């Protein structure tokens, strides 16, 4: 079965769409390794602000992270296509990841999770709770949620975080890397 053409390509772009150096990262909002890489990704983008570097985040859901799907839908619903909102809310959620990790939800319901996502959206984004929940349930947000995992499959991505720089998968950075490690990988590409 072929994958239907989505209304928009996978990923949320931060930076210049025509950048000389492109970073694609596949993350899961519930993955602790994705949480570990996130601050450095934000530091990389701050360091290279105004330079020809872009970051495209592909938010996928791993099978062992059952809360990640609804958290992802919440991210897309709050952002409404705005990359800055997406990145700020992702940071907010990573800072609270322990509240929706597997152990925390062992005896909680799907409705408990949806309420938590809505609580966080209201707290962070000052959105109308009912409108936010309705947006989470929209077909547009559903498509934004499912497209990245299908794209990940075409790139043979099976774990998070997975990083590509200029479409190359064999990169010297991962969730343990410092800003200096990222600079060592990126600076030669900018010369």
How confident is the model over 153-175, as pLDDT tens digits? 999 999 999 999 999 989 999 99
Instruction: Give the closest residue to 71 by CA, choosing from 38, 27, 7.
Output: 27
Q: How confident is the model at residue 7 (pLDDT cuts 50, 70, 90)?
A: confident
Question: Three-state DSSP class for 153?
Answer: helix
Instruction: Give the closest residue to 55 by CA, choosing from 69, 68, 38.
Output: 38
The DSSP H or E segment spanning 23 is: strand 21-27
- pLDDT per residue over 58-91, tens digit each? 999 999 999 999 999 999 999 999 999 999 999 9
What Cα–Cα distance (Å) separates residue 80 from each residue in 68, 105, 119, 134, 156? 18, 27, 17, 12, 28
Backbone phi and psi for residue 162, each to the nearest 5 degrees, phi listed first: -120, 130
Q: How confident is the model at residue 1 (pLDDT cuts 50, 70, 90)?
A: low
What Cα–Cα distance (Å) separates residue 29 from each residue in 69, 73, 76, 141? 9, 11, 12, 16
In order, the DSSP letters of 80-140 are TT-HHHHHHHHHHHHTTGGGSSGGGGTT--HHHHHHHHHHHHHHHH---HHHHHHHHTSHH
Q: What is the pLDDT of residue 117?
A: 98
Cβ atoms of 24 and 154 within 8 Å: the answer is: no
Q: Which range, of 4-13, 99-108, 132-141, averages the lowest pLDDT?
A: 4-13
181-185: average pLDDT: 98
* CATH number of this structure's domain 12-189: 3.40.30.10
Q: What is the pLDDT of residue 3?
A: 66
Backbone phi and psi for residue 31, each to the nearest 5 degrees, phi listed first: -80, 125
Q: What is the pLDDT of residue 175?
A: 96
- Look over the chain and give the mean of its residue pLDDT values, rounded to a whole number: 95
- pLDDT per residue over 83-129, tens digit each? 999 999 999 999 999 999 988 899 999 999 999 999 999 999 999 99
Q: What is the pLDDT of residue 9?
A: 83
0.85 cut: is pTM over it?
yes
Find the helix packing angle between 139-154 and 68-79, rounded to 10°: 120
Local structure of residue 167 (DSSP, 8 states): T
Q: Could you tell me the two tokens for 98?
A: 């322990």
């Amino acid at each position: 079965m072929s994958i239907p053409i989505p209304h928009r390509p996978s990923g949320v772009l931060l930076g210049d769409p025509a950048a000389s150096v492109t970073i694609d990262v596949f993350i899961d909002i519930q993955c602790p390794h994705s949480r570990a890489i996130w601050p450095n990704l934000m530091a990389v983008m701050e360091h290279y602000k105004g330079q020809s570097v872009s970051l495209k985040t592909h938010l996928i859901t791993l099978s062992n992270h059952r809360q990640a799907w609804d958290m992802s839908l919440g991210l897309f619903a709050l952002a409404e296509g705005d990359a800055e909102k997406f990145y700020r809310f992702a940071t907010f959620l990573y800072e609270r990841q322990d509240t929706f990790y597997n152990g925390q939800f062992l005896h909680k319901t799907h409705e408990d999770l949806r309420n938590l996502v809505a609580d966080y959206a209201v707290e962070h984004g000052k959105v109308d709770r009912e409108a936010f929940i309705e947006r989470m349930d929209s077909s547009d947000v559903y498509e934004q949620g499912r497209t990245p995992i299908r794209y990940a499959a075409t790139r043979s991505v099976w774990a998070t975080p997975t990083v590509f720089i200029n479409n190359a998968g064999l990169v010297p950075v991962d969730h343990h890397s410092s800003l200096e490690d990222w600079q060592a990988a990126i600076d030669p590409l900018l010369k």
